[in-house]
Amino acid sequence: MSVLSLTGVCLSFPRGRRHVIPVLASVTLQIDAGETVSVLAQRAQGKTSLLRVAAGMERPDRGQVCFEGEDLWGFSERRRSRLLGDQIGWVRPVVPDLDMPMLTNVALPLFATHGKSEAYARATGALERVGAQECAQQFWGSLADWERALVAIAQGIAREPKLLLVDDLTLSLGLGETEEITRLLDTLATEQGFAVLMSVSDAGATGWSGRVATLAGGELLETPKLPAQQGNIIDFPGVVKPGANDPRHDIST
């Protein structure tokens, strides 16, 4: 069963009585646990809106949004809100509301659901997992962009989510840093078994994603997956592959 499933999702924003701004047009997407999907789109093409719909923060005009097979909009407001605070992690490198050490910042959203000491323990663990333990006592203003991205990921995974939504996290990062961040997300998704849906505005940020979809004009395009092929099915002339049919590998002769 998919962690997240969007089926025929349409979204538009009304502007006055006559005008409507179309954002998503019949978007269909499925993500399984442990998978990383990148959505590549330019500015103002609905990347963040797609993530908001996936998180249950935005109600689509049409279509279905299912989390672990259950329709998000069949949930009560309270349950949907709890889901967002508990099983869906949201990652973006924005300036925190309160100026306090990063450990407190990562722990703060968990206070209500997990209690103070458990929240701090989880925050410490999350910062260690992303390799940002040295940022624990730092304040936002003193962090580099790269460290801010790590702290944002720590905040997202501290609640041990089943789905991590990552909004253009690598926008301000360089080549090597972008690769490290995308590799980290892929490793975390594989190890901890959560699904990752990330929006990116640069193809370089799709680096370690197993799947790449493109979004423009509200249309999400993704190549349908074929069953994996075993080995190279095309033989080229004069080439003997190492294997059982190669007489040099036959120990009986």
The site for other proteins (CB under 8 A) is made up of 40-42, 45, 175-176, 179, 202-204, 206-214, 216-217, 219, 221-223, 234, 236-242, 246, 248
CB nearer to other proteins: pick between 51 and 200 = 200
CB nearer to other proteins: pick between 1 and 175 = 175
To other proteins, the closest distance from the beta carbon of 25 in angstroms equals: 10
Cα–Cα distance for residue pair 185/164, rounded to 1 Å? 9
CB nearer to other proteins: pick between 82 and 183 = 183
Phi and psi at residue 13, to the nearest 5°: -115, 125
Counted residue by residue, the chain has a size of 253
What one-character-per-residue DSSP string does 124-189 give? HHHHHHTT-GGGTT--GGGS-HHHHHHHHHHHHHHT--SEEEEESTTTT--HHHHHHHHHHHHHHH
CB nearer to other proteins: pick between 234 and 251 = 234
Cα–Cα distance for residue pair 223/115, rounded to 1 Å? 44
Please name the amino acid found at residue 136.
Answer: A
Please name the amino acid found at residue 151.
Answer: V
- Taking the C-alpha atoms of 52, 57, 58 and 60 in order, what is their torsion angle to the nearest 10 degrees? 90
CB nearer to other proteins: pick between 121 and 171 = 171
To other proteins, the closest distance from the beta carbon of 206 in angstroms equals: 6
Cα–Cα nearest to 171, from 206, 129, 135, 205: 205
To other proteins, the closest distance from the beta carbon of 43 in angstroms equals: 10
Cα–Cα distance for residue pair 27/137, rounded to 1 Å? 42
To other proteins, the closest distance from the beta carbon of 95 in angstroms equals: 28
To other proteins, the closest distance from the beta carbon of 69 in angstroms equals: 26
To other proteins, the closest distance from the beta carbon of 16 in angstroms equals: 21
CB nearer to other proteins: pick between 11 and 102 = 11
